[in-house]
Amino acid sequence: MAAFMFIIVILILAAIVVLPGLYVRSRRASQEHKEYERGLKMVSLLIHLPPVSDDTDLGGRDVRDVIDENISKAQVIYNILASTFQKGWKNRRYGQRHFGFEVVGSQGFVYFYATVPASLKDVVTQAVVSAYPSARLEEVDGHNIFSPVGKITATTGGELTLKESYAYPIATYQDLKRDAMQSLLNSLSTLGKEDGVAIQILMRPADPAVWRKSAHAVAGKKRKGNDNSAVGIERIVSVLKQFAIAFVKPIEPEDKKDSKPELSNLDQAVLDAIDDKTRHPGYEVCIRVVASSNISQRSQAILGNVVAAFALFDAPWKNGFKFTPSKDVEKLVTSYILRFFPQRNKDNILNSIELATIFHFPDQRSIPTPNLSAKIPNKLMVRGTFRSRVCCLDTMYSAV
């Protein structure tokens, strides 16, 4: 009997140790399968930009006002797409359906794309046309930015993530008083025939209750003075000092009025910025940059120019972007081509104003390069969305 009970205990302990591991592995496998399934069901929409606007010539309007008005139109897109958020067990397990916008430079030309699930194509089209009535979206086959000479050895890239907690906002067009996307396009204006680069911005609606509650918690701690940077050596020294004084005279009770720290104007401005960020729809975001050329040094230079343009979004005492180069270029290229959205990417949340600042349709008067086209070169066309992505992967990995 004792031996039987011992075996039962061993089996129970083994189940406690083994079953969680099996569940985690099974969950990761199912999530990876869902990533491929969703990636292969994405379609590419080429965005034909609106014609040149004459608004800057009407009534002596300030050019900056026209730029702000143009960028603010993009908020309509992200406000509409926020309605695609769905509750339920399946969406908690696999994440919300994601979509994205891409700025692609290839063979000396620049293109704008929307990459969306086939089931959300009409929703995204409606959102874009609602914001920019003159824009037109056309479903096209895949594009290829990779150099047939350099292939994988001359390809580089990485991801851009927030430096601080997503509760802190980045600099928006309301702060910059300029169109930061003009600098981004300027970094693509020197591309040659052998160069290719893509800025891929994937997004999916964040749970409003969760991310706003977390942001408010960050603001609440800052108001109460519960700053984690105050712990550690400083707190230990303070406790030891009070302990030593206790032998000489009793510790005086703290004044309750002084228990709440007085906020400086700068701290109050940061808290107001956090509160303002939560008033708009939020998105979990994944930003990738991939560059390719005939030689590695050239692709590195292209990548550096693009990453440098994102420095404009840095807001002092608030937030900004940091770039992390990819250690596995093959994995990065696969994620880029199939538009993988990391399942556990919940630390990069931007609201509709921040996204509108990063990606919007520029007024053609402010475009720094004349090589902005809405037509795909014939040599980049590969029939079939699925075949085009497989062809890109085969082209890249044939050099490995």
Confidence tier at 52 by pLDDT (50, 70, 90): low
Separation between Cα atoms, residue 65 and residue 168, nearest integer Å = 26
- Lowest model confidence (mean pLDDT) among 129-138, 227-236, 243-252: 227-236
Stretch 221-244: mean pLDDT: 59
Q: Which pLDDT does position 342 carry in this prediction?
A: 84
Q: Which pLDDT does position 79 carry in this prediction?
A: 94
Residues of the chain above pLDDT 90, percent: 44
pLDDT at 216 over 80: yes
pLDDT at 313 over 80: yes
Confidence tier at 134 by pLDDT (50, 70, 90): confident
Confidence tier at 26 by pLDDT (50, 70, 90): low
pLDDT at 309 over 80: yes
Output DSSP code: residue 372: B
Strand-pairing partners, residue 179, are none
Mean pLDDT, the chain, whole residue set: 80
How does DSSP assign 46-71, residue by residue? EEEPPPPP-GGGSTT--HHHHHHHHH
Q: Which pLDDT does position 399 carry in this prediction?
A: 42
Give kind and range of the element (H or E) at residue 105: strand 99-106
Separation between Cα atoms, residue 154 and residue 141, nearest integer Å = 24
Give 234-293 pLDDT, tens digit per residue.
455 555 666 566 555 555 555 544 556 677 788 888 999 999 999 999 999 999 999 999
**pTM for this structure?**
0.78
Give 183-214 pLDDT, tens digit per residue.
888 888 888 888 999 999 999 999 999 999 99
Stretch 350-367: mean pLDDT: 83
pLDDT at 53 over 70: no
Q: Which residues contact 393 (CB under 8 A, 6 or more apart)?
A: 333, 334, 337
- Lowest model confidence (mean pLDDT) among 66-80, 165-179, 227-241, 378-392: 378-392
Confidence tier at 400 by pLDDT (50, 70, 90): very low
> Is pLDDT larger for residue 337 or for residue 249?
337
Separation between Cα atoms, residue 391 and residue 394, nearest integer Å = 5
Stretch 339-367: mean pLDDT: 84
> Is pLDDT larger for residue 18 or for residue 162?
162
Confidence tier at 347 by pLDDT (50, 70, 90): confident
Burial pattern 34-48, b for ≥16 Cβ within 10 A else e, equals ebeebbeebbbbbbb
Checking phi first, is residue 44 left (phi over 0); if not, alpha (psi -120 to 50) or beta? Answer: beta
Second-level CATH architecture of 37-208+279-397: 3-Layer(aba) Sandwich (3.40)
> Is pLDDT larger for residue 132 or for residue 49?
132
Confidence tier at 155 by pLDDT (50, 70, 90): very high
Separation between Cα atoms, residue 361 and residue 102, nearest integer Å = 11
Separation between Cα atoms, residue 78 and residue 355, nearest integer Å = 8
Nearest 10 degrees: CA dihedral of 272, 275, 278, 280?
Answer: -50
pLDDT at 324 over 90: yes
Stretch 137-148: mean pLDDT: 87
Q: What does the domain layout of the chain look like in residue ranges?
A: 37-208+279-397
SS3 104: strand
Confidence tier at 113 by pLDDT (50, 70, 90): very high
Alpha carbon 386 to its chain's center: 25
pLDDT at 371 over 60: no
pLDDT at 331 over 90: yes
Q: Which pLDDT does position 62 carry in this prediction?
A: 66
> Is pLDDT larger for residue 22 or for residue 372?
22
pLDDT at 319 over 80: yes
Tell me the H-state helices in 246-397: 265-277, 296-309, 329-338, 352-358, 385-397
